[in-house]
Structure 1
Amino acid sequence: MPDPFTVPEVSRAGLCVVGSFMMDLIAYAERQPRPGETLIGYDFVQAPGGKGFNQALAAARAGAPTSMLGRLGTDSFGDEFLAALGAEGIDCSGVIRDEKTGTGVGHPTVARDGQNAIVVVPRSNSSLTPDDIREHRCAITSAGVMLLQLELPMPAVLEAARIAHEAGTLVILNPAPFSPLPDELLDLCDVIVPNEVELAQWAGRRPADDGQVAELAQNLADDHGLTVIVTIGDRGSLICAPMSPITRVGAHHVTAVDTVGAGDTFCGHLAALLSMGSALPRAIGRASAAAAITVTRRGGNASPTTAETDDFLAKAGQGPTPLLTTARTSS
């Protein structure tokens, strides 16, 4: 029986993140404003974000040589992103400055009870084209792993996946935010990392339990010949691969104060560790630990460093891989 933890061998070091930049402008108030109402808030935070940037940051903090390909405006927000990339040692030679369109922004309003509403304006992210990807293809072809999300135009995402696939670069897709996925894209991927909500949206039905989540993921893995890692919150994650056991990876249990960045931390650390030659079980275990640390911290850019992850695991008295249990065997 095939090993469920086998992914294509990474032949080159380094990780390329093809993704988005969103400057988060976060307003905090006692409640959400009503239509037409002006509400006085009690706090404001400006922080670099966007799934691409967040995942690149996490990957760099996990220790991988990391580059990023995307679009920024020539405004002050763009300058702030470049400074942040440089501070983390991320190669930004593939980051294009857009003189016509400003840097993407997100404007969440967060109520005291944690409920939030968000307006996202992609701006320069929406201008990334297949030609841009081709012009900076060296960032992809020189890396062992490429990490994608869906905050960019689908033609650009598809072109990046094609280039990586043809170059033998391992293609990891975090299919968020939800968008219908063309079979062409799935067939170019080696690993996809959805959460259970995104998986249900693709399937058009909400699974009642983890067994049904596993069934949906297994069907996706079998149909497209790829490895599916479904994150299921504090229950851990499920790994599905064609003709292999469906396997649960246990979670690290902590007291969460802010879960927003957990998925990006998990994906960034996972991709980074695979790019450095880690076996999939170890990569998932350490990515789970890093995500657990993230949810204990408030605010953006909360992904831990390698040393912080090591310390967390040592204090927990655990190795890098949580308990693995086989859920069932696919037919």
Structure 2
Amino acid sequence: MANIIVVGSYVVDLMSRTPHIPTAGETVLGGPFRMGPGGKGGNQAVAAARLGSEVTMVTKVGEDIFGDEAIKNFEQEGISSKYITRHPDEVTGTALIAVDDHSENMIVVAPGACGKITKADVEKAKADFETADIVLLQLETSMEAVEATVNLAHSLGKQVVLNPAPYQEVTNDLLSKVTYVTPNETEASLLTGIEVNDEASARKASKILVEKGVNKVIITLGKQGCFVYDGSDDGRFVQAYQVKAVDTTGAGDAFNGAFATFIADGFSLDEAVGRANAVGALSVTKVGTAPAMPYKNELETFISTRE
């Protein structure tokens, strides 16, 4: 069983369907409305746990009803909440999500308490870092938390998966301590200055990231699949699974939680990416983020029908 530490965000998803994404100044009638657990960190933790990983979550929530629900949700998913702290002044984070008739989305995140995770909060979990197989994090928290997580994991010789979303500037020193970086095409473009939209541009961006110190690069390109580069060759595409999408929100989180799980379980890089692609595909066939993460038996059935 993979043992994974996730350091990252928890926010409450407030989602409504809409005929189209509103333009500036436009009001659109939408519905239905749904509320549920979310945040990149929380979603990735749920994805990993439902695939059989032992997961410990490090985050911060408010002393409010949303914070109560956060801890309840993590415990229901079998995720350790012992390092989830409560901020006395900040509210639990929220994400305002609009999903249109083409299943595309627009998201505004108000991090709230999870934007206040400190170095001390991370270091409280050192004992669990020491026994972890993989440390997984994103950029939806304070940069203090990101740097503390990477530095602690690196000092203990742990593999680190960094999902650089939403984009924030990161130093080359931090990237040099990361084992796997998993940007989408937009994040890869911002990290490297290369406009990424196909295999050739993904290869150029990947080589730049490796020059910055990253060990292995996986650039996710939606329906095209993933470009994988580890410096041993010119890289290669791992194809996506084609499904009818209902809601694409959280697909990247499904991929990252799954990828961390499969790497920790001993799959090769390409195998881990391929299986994570399947998890991402399954997640978009359901509405929501954390609630849409597939279980291990769903994944195995899905893969078996595609072989």
Q: Under a length normalisation based on structure 1, what TM-score does the superposition of the two structures give?
A: 0.86
Which amino acid is 2:45 matched to?
A
The range that moved more, 173-182 or 108-117, is 108-117
Choose from 174, 177, 197 the match for 1:185.
Answer: 174
Q: Which residue of 2 aligns with 1:78?
A: 67
Structure 2 residue 77 is matched with structure 1 residue 88: yes
Distance (Å, rounded) in 2 between the aligned partners of 1:243 and 1:163 = 28
Cα offsets for 1:89-131 (capped at 9, x unmatched) = 1111111112221110112244556565433211101211112
Q: Which residue of 2 aligns with 1:202?
A: 191
Distance (Å, rounded) in 2 between the aligned partners of 1:37 and 1:240 = 42
Q: How far apart are 1:294 and its partner, in Å? A: 1.2
The range that moved more, 296-305 or 143-152, is 296-305
Q: Which residue of 2 aligns with 1:232?
A: 221
The range that moved more, 215-224 or 17-26, is 215-224
Where structure 1 has 5 or more consecutive residues not aligned to the other structure, the ranges are 1-11, 319-331
Distance (Å, rounded) in 2 between the aligned partners of 1:33 and 1:219 = 36
Choose from 156, 160, 168 the match for 1:171.
Answer: 160
Structure 2 residue 304 is matched with structure 1 residue 314: yes
| Conservation of the 8 A alpha-carbon contact between 2:133 and 2:158 | yes
| Conservation of the 8 A alpha-carbon contact between 1:225 and 1:241 | no
Cα offsets for 1:217-242 (capped at 9, x unmatched) = 12212331510011111111111123
Distance (Å, rounded) in 1 between the aligned partners of 2:102 and 2:221 = 23
Distance (Å, rounded) in 2 between the aligned partners of 1:76 and 1:151 = 21
Q: Do the aligned partners of residues 43 and 253 (structure 1) sit closer, same or farther apart at CA in structure 2, a change above 3 Å counting?
A: closer
Distance (Å, rounded) in 1 between the aligned partners of 2:184 and 2:132 = 26
1:166-315 map, 5 Å: 166-207=155-196, 209-301=198-290, 302-315=292-305
Matched positions, count: 306
Q: How far apart are 1:300 and its partner, in Å? A: 2.3
1:10-29 map, 5 Å: 13-29=2-18
**Structure of larger gyration radius:** 1
| Conservation of the 8 A alpha-carbon contact between 2:228 and 2:270 | no
Structure 2 residue 151 is matched with structure 1 residue 162: yes
Where structure 2 has 5 or more consecutive residues not aligned to the other structure, the ranges are none
Q: Do the aligned partners of residues 298 and 128 (structure 1) sit closer, same or farther apart at CA in structure 2, a change above 3 Å counting?
A: same
Question: What SS class does the counterpart of residue 104 from structure 1 fall into?
Answer: strand
Q: How far apart are 1:251 and its partner, in Å? A: 1.7
| Conservation of the 8 A alpha-carbon contact between 1:203 and 1:216 | yes
Q: Under a length normalisation based on structure 2, what TM-score does the superposition of the two structures give?
A: 0.92
Distance (Å, rounded) in 1 between the aligned partners of 2:95 and 2:12 = 6
Distance (Å, rounded) in 1 between the aligned partners of 2:27 and 2:239 = 45
RMSD across aligned C-alpha pairs, in angstroms?
2.1
Question: What SS class does the counterpart of residue 166 from structure 2 fall into?
Answer: coil
| Conservation of the 8 A alpha-carbon contact between 1:234 and 1:253 | yes
| Conservation of the 8 A alpha-carbon contact between 2:217 and 2:228 | yes
Percent sequence identity over aligned pairs: 35
Q: Do the aligned partners of residues 175 and 33 (structure 1) sit closer, same or farther apart at CA in structure 2, a change above 3 Å counting?
A: closer
Q: Which residue of 2 aligns with 1:48?
A: 37
Which amino acid is 1:118 matched to?
I
| Conservation of the 8 A alpha-carbon contact between 2:194 and 2:205 | no
